[in-house]
């Protein structure tokens, strides 16, 4: 079945991104289908079909997480074993290898679904229809991709960014005729690239804050210009997050969590900008903010959001309030509280879709593991710091000993030893710093992300509950109507009927909401992986 109102059209996209490590902009050209923003929104039915196909496929063959990224040359020259920065992976997503296939791949799942399923029902997706054909798709896709899969630096951090391409990869090889069909989202043409740079201290004393320069390069027509910058401060970022999470339409999306507030760090910065520990803090924060923005712009739905665009473009944002809630521990607590509240609600959700349950378990387990790792890394970093301190003290005591020695040769030797130990202390400090940067931050980041994933699962549960409540209310109204009918009170009857119709619509709407959320969640999770 062809959906007639889409026509085959390509436009060339210049994808530019900046490698965080080498600080240079790289561009590449790729062809992609029409950008999502210009497509009229599809009727809800199509949506469900879309996800159904993807869901079914994900049941049997979790998409081989795209490795086209890894084969990118930019990554290969920075494989410092385990000292890779997570940041690098996020920034240097490149489309140098498979721009075309990427775009083609995107259209596939939806198209496949369109071919196979009939109508939009709100039934839970079951992969029954699309199974066989999807099988073939994946067989081919696997064959193709296996050549790409060069070993793997598919570490945890890569899995997130490679999620960008995961939606495409399974159906990489569907015949080009299907390409004619356009689809709306789930296509990351990396047209937007953001960088956060130049932290500057603005103001004085306790009212000082650090302003970051947010620069964007894009070729999307929806933005006013190709390159623009804006100055933002940390609370602006938090405000953006708050706005995004409050939006109903984004329910079910995994909204990337912002970096944490830190009272200690900020106070240090306010006091002095030159202090090495505050420099480190600012640097960490800058990197985290950049990662945060990268994640946001690479999420197609979020990119459509006017708030995001405003954030990137506008000169001055109104000062965001209510950001106290977002201190790091507070954030996690918030998520946990929310999920606790949900689980305590009276109507317990029957998870009739095992996919969700499995995924949830997975996410949970992953989070546990990450927490354990984080604890270990934390202790390692602490020990290293301790070593720094101890080495310094030792160096001093050796120096004193050297001074008090009569024998000049020995004295000299000891003083030199003291100097060497001093240098070693520097080294150790560096090591501790880099350990921290790389491992601990990464892990903390991931844990936060997983928390966000859980939050999105929760939203789904809440939607379901709303739906159920609406249904039971409807039931009651119907009973009331029946009673009235029996008692023969025509005017009340009319009112009851109206109420019923009203509730019926509500029920259907909630149901649809629930499904929509369900699908979004699925898509999101796949993207995330």
Partner 1 sequence: MMQEEVNEATSVLSIYGHTIKVTEVLQDGDTLTFIIVSQKLSGTGEYHVDRTYEDFEWLQQHLYAQEDVPGLQGVIFPPLPVRPQVNASAKVMKQLGFLGLGEWQPYCKALETFLRQVAAHSILRKNKAVEVFLTSTDPPGRQKLRRNIFNRLSQAVEGLRKEGHKDVDEFFHTERDHNLVLTGHTRTAAEKFLDVVLTEQKIAVACGHFAAALHICVENGEDPEKKAFSRVCVKLSQVFDSIKKNMTSIAVNDMNTLGLALDLGSRYLEAEKEMLFRRTCKLVELENARKNAERAKPVKKNAMEEVKKAAEGEFEQICKVAKQEIVQLNQERVEMLQKNLIQWCEQQLQTAKEGADAYNQHLQAFIAMA
Write out the residues near partner 1 by the rule CB under 8 A.
62, 64-65, 70, 75-76, 79-82, 146, 149-156, 159, 369, 372-373, 376-377, 379-380, 383-384, 386-387, 390-391, 393-394, 396-398, 400-401, 404-407, 409-410, 413, 417, 529
Please state the closest distance from residue 406 (CB atom) to partner 1, in A. Answer: 7
Taking the least distance from each CB to partner 1, the nearer of 343 and 403 is 403
Taking the least distance from each CB to partner 1, the nearer of 88 and 133 is 88
Please state the closest distance from residue 88 (CB atom) to partner 1, in A. Answer: 12
Taking the least distance from each CB to partner 1, the nearer of 382 and 495 is 382
Region class of 23: left (phi > 0), else alpha (psi between -120 and 50), else beta: left
Please state the closest distance from residue 231 (CB atom) to partner 1, in A. Answer: 37
Residue 39 CB partners (closer than 8 Å, separation 6+): 6, 182, 183, 184
Please state the closest distance from residue 127 (CB atom) to partner 1, in A. Answer: 18
Q: Which DSSP letter does residue 261 get?
A: B
**Distance in Å from the first CA to the final CA of the chain:** 31
Burial class of residue 86 in the structure, from the number of CB atoms within 10 Å of its CB (0-12 exposed, 13-18 middle, 19+ buried)? buried
Please state the closest distance from residue 155 (CB atom) to partner 1, in A. Answer: 5
Helix (H, G, I), strand (E, B) or coil at 341: helix
The DSSP H or E segment spanning 17 is strand 10-18
Q: What's phi and psi for 489, nearest 5 deg?
A: -120, 95
Region class of 119: left (phi > 0), else alpha (psi between -120 and 50), else beta: beta
Sign, CA dihedral 264-269-272-274, equals positive
Please state the closest distance from residue 239 (CB atom) to partner 1, in A. Answer: 35
CB count, 10 Å around CB of 198?
14
Taking the least distance from each CB to partner 1, the nearer of 377 and 517 is 377
Taking the least distance from each CB to partner 1, the nearer of 436 and 510 is 436
| Size (the chain), residues | 529
* DSSP track, 196-224: EEEEEEES-GGG-EEEEEEEEEE--TTSS
Q: For residues 237 and 455, what is the distance between their CA atoms, to the nearest angstrom?
A: 19
Region class of 70: left (phi > 0), else alpha (psi between -120 and 50), else beta: alpha
Please state the closest distance from residue 29 (CB atom) to partner 1, in A. Answer: 25
Task: Tell me the HSE value of 500 on the side-chain side, using a 13 A CA sphere.
Answer: 15
Burial class of residue 446 in the structure, from the number of CB atoms within 10 Å of its CB (0-12 exposed, 13-18 middle, 19+ buried)? buried
Whether the CB-CB separation of 153 and 84 falls below 8 Å is answered with yes
CB count, 10 Å around CB of 357?
12
Task: Tell me the HSE value of 2 on the side-chain side, using a 13 A CA sphere.
Answer: 10
Taking the least distance from each CB to partner 1, the nearer of 117 and 374 is 374
Taking the least distance from each CB to partner 1, the nearer of 434 and 473 is 434
Taking the least distance from each CB to partner 1, the nearer of 398 and 496 is 398
Please state the closest distance from residue 183 (CB atom) to partner 1, in A. Answer: 24
Helix (H, G, I), strand (E, B) or coil at 322: coil
Please state the closest distance from residue 282 (CB atom) to partner 1, in A. Answer: 28
Taking the least distance from each CB to partner 1, the nearer of 57 and 117 is 57
Q: For residues 252 and 379, what is the distance between their CA atoms, to the nearest angstrom?
A: 36
Residue 325 CB partners (closer than 8 Å, separation 6+): 242, 331, 334
Please state the closest distance from residue 69 (CB atom) to partner 1, in A. Answer: 11
Taking the least distance from each CB to partner 1, the nearer of 122 and 413 is 413
Q: For residues 445 and 157, what is the distance between their CA atoms, to the nearest angstrom?
A: 10
Taking the least distance from each CB to partner 1, the nearer of 71 and 471 is 71
Please state the closest distance from residue 111 (CB atom) to partner 1, in A. Answer: 24
The DSSP H or E segment spanning 433 is helix 408-435
Taking the least distance from each CB to partner 1, the nearer of 50 and 66 is 66
Please report where in the chains the tokens 């890569």 appear, as a residue. 158
The DSSP H or E segment spanning 193 is strand 192-202
Please state the closest distance from residue 106 (CB atom) to partner 1, in A. Answer: 20
Q: For residues 347 and 350, what is the distance between their CA atoms, to the nearest angstrom?
A: 9
Taking the least distance from each CB to partner 1, the nearer of 137 and 266 is 137
Please state the closest distance from residue 401 (CB atom) to partner 1, in A. Answer: 4
């Amino acid at each position: 079945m062809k959906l007639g109102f889409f026509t085959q059209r390509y436009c060339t996209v210049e994808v530019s991104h900046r490698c965080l490590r080498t600080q240079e902009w790289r561009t590449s050209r790729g062809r992609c289908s029409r950008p999502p923003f210009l497509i009229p929104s599809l009727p809800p039915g199509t949506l469900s079909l879309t996800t159904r196909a993807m869901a079914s496929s994900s049941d049997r063959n979790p998409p081989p997480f795209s490795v086209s990224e890894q084969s990118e040359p930019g990554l290969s020259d920075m494989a410092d074993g385990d000292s890779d920065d997570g940041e690098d992976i996020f920034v240097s997503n490149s489309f140098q290898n498979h721009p075309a296939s990427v775009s083609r791949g995107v259209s596939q799942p939806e198209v496949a679904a369109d071919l196979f399923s009939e109508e939009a029902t709100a039934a839970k997706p079951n992969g029954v229809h699309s199974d066989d054909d999807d099988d073939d798709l994946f067989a081919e896709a696997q064959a193709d991709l296996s050549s790409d899969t060069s070993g793997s630096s598919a570490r945890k951090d890569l899995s997130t960014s490679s999620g960008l391409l995961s939606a495409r990869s399974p159906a990489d090889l569907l015949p080009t005729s299907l390409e004619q069909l356009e689809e709306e989202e789930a296509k990351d043409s990396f047209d937007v690239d953001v960088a956060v740079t130049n932290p500057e201290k603005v103001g004085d004393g306790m009212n000082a804050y650090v302003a970051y320069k947010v620069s964007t390069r894009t070729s999307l027509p929806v933005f006013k210009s190709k390159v623009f910058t804006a100055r933002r401060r940390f609370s602006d970022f938090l405000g953006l997050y708050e706005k995004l999470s409050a939006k109903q339409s984004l329910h079910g999306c995994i909204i990337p969590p912002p970096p944490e507030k830190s009272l200690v760090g900020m106070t240090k910065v306010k006091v002095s900008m030159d202090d090495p520990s505050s420099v480190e803090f600012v640097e960490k924060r800058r990197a985290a903010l950049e990662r945060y923005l990268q994640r946001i712009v690479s999420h197609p739905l979020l990119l459509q959001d006017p708030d995001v665009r405003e954030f990137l473009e506008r000169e001055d944002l109104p000062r965001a309030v209510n950001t106290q809630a977002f201190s790091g521990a507070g954030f996690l607590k918030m998520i946990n509280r929310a999920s606790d509240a949900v689980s305590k609600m009276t109507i317990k959700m029957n998870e009739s879709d095992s996919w969700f349950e499995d995924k949830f378990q997975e996410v949970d387990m992953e989070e546990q593991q990450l927490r354990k790792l984080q604890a270990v890394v934390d202790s390692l970093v602490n020990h290293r710091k301790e070593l720094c301190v101890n080495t310094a003290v030792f160096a001093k005591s050796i120096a004193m000993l050297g001074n008090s020695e009569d024998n000049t040769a020995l004295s000299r030797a000891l003083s030199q030893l003291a100097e060497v130990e001093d240098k070693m202390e520097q080294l150790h400090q560096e090591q501790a710093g880099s350990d921290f940067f790389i491992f601990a931050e990464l892990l903390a980041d991931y844990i936060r992300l997983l928390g966000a994933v859980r939050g999105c699962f929760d939203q789904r549960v809440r939607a379901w509950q709303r739906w159920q409540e609406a249904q039971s209310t409807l039931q009651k109204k119907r009973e009331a109507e029946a009673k009235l009918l029996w008692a023969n009170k025509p005017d009340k009857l009319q009112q009851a009927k109206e109420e019923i119709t009203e509730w019926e619509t509500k029920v259907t709407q909630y149901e649809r909401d629930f499904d929509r959320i369900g699908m979004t969640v699925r898509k999101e999770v796949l993207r995330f992986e």
